[in-house]
Structure 1
């Protein structure tokens, strides 16, 4: 099972960031920020970061167009202006990005998807991109703020605990007339949808009226 990592740069020093990459033998950083610049952590601005990584033998790829949390295609937004992660995952641009990542892995790169938020539960790198690769049977490992690893499976358990009490889970399972594995899969899809609503980018009303 191929492995991919995710990480949030937060405001950690660039030296601490590089140490984490070295610890996990990562040699390719895929930037999934729609806007690859940070006012509070300028060391992660695209050009500075690319130069730093290059001088340390690490490749940098910007894939914010394919995997970013903001998309220019209005069809990927719901009627209320919320970016629908499931629509994004099914889009041609996203799937082109997935293909490109798979090619990098086949070339021998050990890669990490990078965004800003320190907790993967609060970031589309895991709720959108990590989910997509997990569903493609990749081993998705989220690097936490403290340097420890949280697998996508454990992240899903956090989501379940966050959104559903044990009694409510039982209610859902009783309601769904499906086999147990199908019930679990539907519940997982539901918590991803709920998290999408909580963290997803939302267009302003005037942007919708103007067609953007």
Structure 2
């Protein structure tokens, strides 16, 4: 399983990164799959560019970001309300169905889940990668052509049963393998 962010790249640079990694499917995890600043990454434009290279495109809004945190959020180590909200969302049946879909569909072909942010640790892709890692998936972040990075769990995450909790408290909890 791979992650990639389009950032400010040209479509040619983006496609080269995907091709270098052997990606056959892109799962777009943007809540709103468009870009005014970078129209080559608008949903229709991106889908056409990927199709021309033989890469399948699918939009997965259920994995999109911009979630609001719960007032009683246990994810207290995440300072950003957007990340805390996403961590709260990860504890829902909707997220569980979406992440299971991602795992199942990536089993038949190399898949990259994609968002706009080029740097994975400043994007909800980091948290999706944590959820996949917790489910025994290997996740590789595609940064630039030829420079993949294996995912490492967020330093404050712990496993409580099957839940990921970002609270920085791991003294008496089971820690996920890195």
Q: TM-score, normalised by structure 2?
A: 0.77
Q: Distance in 2 between matches of 1:105 and 1:150?
A: 18
Question: Match of 2:90, SS?
Answer: helix
Q: CA RMSD in A?
A: 2.7
Partner of 1:105: 106
| Matched-pair contact (CA < 8 Å) for 2:20–2:145 | no
Aligned residues: 157
Partner of 1:150: 149
Partner of 1:94: 95
Deviation at 1:152, TM superposition (A): 1.1
| Matched-pair contact (CA < 8 Å) for 2:7–2:117 | yes
Q: Is 1:68–2:69 an aligned residue pair?
A: no
Deviation at 1:149, TM superposition (A): 1.4
Deviation at 1:11, TM superposition (A): 1.1
Deviation at 1:104, TM superposition (A): 1.1
Q: Is 1:38–2:35 an aligned residue pair?
A: yes
1:177-201 per-position Cα deviation (integer Å, ceiling 9, x unaligned): x38xx3xx28x9xxxxxxxxxxxxx
Question: Match of 1:112, SS?
Answer: strand
| Matched-pair contact (CA < 8 Å) for 1:8–1:145 | no
Partner of 1:118: 118
- Between stretches 8-17 and 77-86, larger displacement belongs to 77-86
For structure 2, list consecutive stretches of 5 or more residues without a partner in the other structure: 73-79, 157-167
The structure where strand makes up a greater share of residues is 2
Deviation at 1:86, TM superposition (A): 2.9
| Matched-pair contact (CA < 8 Å) for 2:70–2:88 | no
For structure 1, list consecutive stretches of 5 or more residues without a partner in the other structure: 161-171, 189-212
Partner of 1:7: 4
Question: Match of 1:12, SS?
Answer: coil
Deviation at 1:143, TM superposition (A): 1.1
Q: TM-score, normalised by structure 1?
A: 0.66
Q: Is 1:79–2:79 an aligned residue pair?
A: no
| Matched-pair contact (CA < 8 Å) for 1:118–1:145 | no
Question: Match of 1:53, SS?
Answer: helix
The structure where helix makes up a greater share of residues is 1
1:16-45 per-position Cα deviation (integer Å, ceiling 9, x unaligned): 111111111100001011111111111000
Question: Match of 2:105, SS?
Answer: helix
